Chain A
Amino acid sequence: MEWVLNALGLAKSAELLSLSPPGWGMNLLRGLSKSLQIAIGAFGFGLVIGLFGAYGKLYGGPVIRDLLAIYTTVVRAVPELVLILILYFVGTDLINQAAEALGYGRVEISGVAAGIWVLGVVQGAYSTEILRGAILAVPQGQIEAARAFGMPPVMLMRRVTIPAMMSFAIPGLANLWLIATKDTALLAVVGFSELTLETRQAASSTRAYFTFFLAAGALYLIVTLLSGVFFQRLERWARRGQPSIRGASR
């Protein structure tokens, strides 16, 4: 193992990336775990917003529909970086005002929670559109049949709409999850120590820019590729029992 690294001239890089203290490997992994926490939280929060948003857009009154249209349009037209700054300042301001009104002092907000809130609102707009499209793709007759059996709305959603729309929504949601993992890098700009910022700190204190940025790129790439495999399986599972779109020839 060691002579391979020596032969390739990578001994120094391996030393820098090692997991024990002189190396910075542990910092990168810690950053990765924070990035993943934020990505998972934001994706989940975005899904919740998206589910309500999609139902509001499809079945809500005219005012709710217009407000949701404004929300999705604005969020999709303004750069994430700008939204992150606005939502970050608004979020901290609101929480601090609430804390002061309740008699506490200023509160320190955890980076992970702020990241989830900020990216979740952004993700919500995209997943609203994806889920709306997926719900529309469910044959209307299935929903009407469930209504005719007297299913209450929530049970209808849980038993009919969501399972039936899954196969339509998953490709879009897979894309959205990849955007979530990559958007966590933007939080570096506001100073959360997620993977990209940890990498930059390691790189600038050791001057080994290529080593660290390439290592971080590899970590992101591993996450991307693994999620690709996972979502492919999930899609196959969601499509179980459906006839193949590709036709009988395959």
Chain B
Amino acid sequence: MMKLIRPFLLPHRLVLLGLFVALVIWCIFSLRWDWLPKYLPLAMQGLWRTIWLLVVSSVLGFLLAVPLGLAQAVGPWYLSAPARVFCTLIRGTPLLLQIWLLYYGLGSVFPQIDGIRDSALWPYLRQAWPYALLALTLSFAGYEGEVMRGAFSGVNRGQLEAAQSFGMPRFTIFRRVWLPQAVRNVLPTLGGETILQLKATPLVATITVVEIFAVSSRVRQDTFVIYEPLLLLALVYMVIAGIIALGFRWLESRVPTHRPGA
């Protein structure tokens, strides 16, 4: 416990902390917070949607990134070339443009297809969140495909050869040796990328998905209170980012490492 507190006991940090506490108290008492109780249920709903989008798109995106990375690292040209083109396209254009392309583009094409209005999918295709989820997933897959390419080619060849000489089937080698080591090596990168993904989620507010950023915009439009919702929003994102960072640090501490010097 002392170890955690000690860095904060330096004199200049005490002064900074005091200033910070004073700032927080000033914020609480002299800014307007009377809108908060009214919008709290909506904000909670928005927060849940942000986290849901983040988790689902990251997990799905990662599942897509594994074959993308594998194809680029060891695949034959007819698999690696499309994978590379996909990653370049995703990484080379703004996410906002991708979201708008999917939502407005696909959204304007679907109603023209005969019979789609009667299909079971139509209730979903009419809403905005499937497009948001699709865009976020593809974006995460594009960035992570590049990360996984490096991860897969970074695994020591000797490890794979040892597994082969034990007579492991190819899929077992992949599942037991190749994938775990690749993921272990890029775990810190993945943590950073997940925070980047969190920072990408507010973009879906532009296509009418009501997540936490959209809630703050609505407060601003309804009540003309400008700074308070934005400051609270920034705080919320910082807390989520902190939780992600701590979570990945915990994951890293759970993974056994045998690196030289470690």
> A residues engaging B (CB < 8 A)?
62-63, 66-67, 74, 76-83, 85-86, 89, 178, 182-186, 188-189, 196, 199-200, 203-204, 207, 209-210, 213-214, 216-217, 220-221, 224-225
> Are A81 and B202 in touch, CB under 8 angstroms?
yes
> Are B93 and A186 in touch, CB under 8 angstroms?
no
User: How far apart are B97's CB and chain A's nearest CB, in angstroms?
Assistant: 6
Number of A-B contacts (CB under 8 A): 107
Residues from chain A with Cβ under 8 Å of B13 in the complex: 62, 66
User: How far apart are B36's CB and chain A's nearest CB, in angstroms?
Assistant: 18
Q: Which residue of B lies closest to A89 (CB)?
A: B226
Query: Can you pick out 12 interface pairs between chain A and chain B where the beta carbons lie within 8 Å of each other?
Result: A74-B238, A77-B195, A79-B199, A178-B92, A189-B206, A196-B97, A196-B100, A210-B105, A213-B97, A217-B89, A220-B93, A220-B97
Given the complex of chains A and B, what is the CA–CA distance between A78 and B240 in angstroms?
Answer: 10
Decide yes or no whether B94 CB sits under 8 A from chain A.
yes
Given A86-B227, A204-B104, A224-B93, 17 new contacts (CB under 8 A)? A62-B13, A74-B238, A78-B234, A78-B238, A80-B199, A83-B234, A86-B231, A178-B92, A188-B96, A189-B206, A200-B104, A203-B104, A213-B104, A213-B105, A217-B89, A217-B98, A224-B92
> Are B16 and A66 in touch, CB under 8 angstroms?
yes
Q: Across the A-B interface, give the 7 residue pairs with the lowest CB-CB distance, nearest first.
A: A185-B94, A224-B92, A213-B101, A79-B199, A77-B241, A209-B105, A182-B94
> Are B96 and A186 in touch, CB under 8 angstroms?
yes
Which of these, B93, B105, B201, contacts A182 with CB under 8 Å?
B93
Given the complex of chains A and B, what is the CA–CA distance between A182 and B94 in angstroms?
Answer: 5
Residues from chain B with Cβ under 8 Å of A82 in the complex: 202, 213, 230, 233-234, 237
Query: Which B residues from 194 to 223 make CB contacts under 8 A with A?
Result: 195, 198-203, 206, 213
> Are A63 and B12 in touch, CB under 8 angstroms?
yes
Given the complex of chains A and B, what is the CA–CA distance between A99 and B73 in angstroms?
Answer: 58
- Number of B residues with CB within 8 Å of any CB on chain A: 39
- Best-surrounded residue of A67, A78, A183 (most CB of chain B within 10 A): A78
Decide yes or no whether B111 CB sits under 8 A from chain A.
no
Which of these, A74, A79, A184, A220, contacts B202 with CB under 8 Å?
A79
Decide yes or no whether B242 CB sits under 8 A from chain A.
yes
Given the complex of chains A and B, what is the CA–CA distance between A198 and B101 in angstroms?
Answer: 14
Q: Which residue of A lies closest to B201 (CB)?
A: A79
Given the complex of chains A and B, what is the CA–CA distance between A63 and B10 in angstroms?
Answer: 11
Residues from chain A with Cβ under 8 Å of B206 in the complex: 189
Say whether, besides A77-B195, A204-B104, A185 and B237 are in contact (CB < 8 Å): no
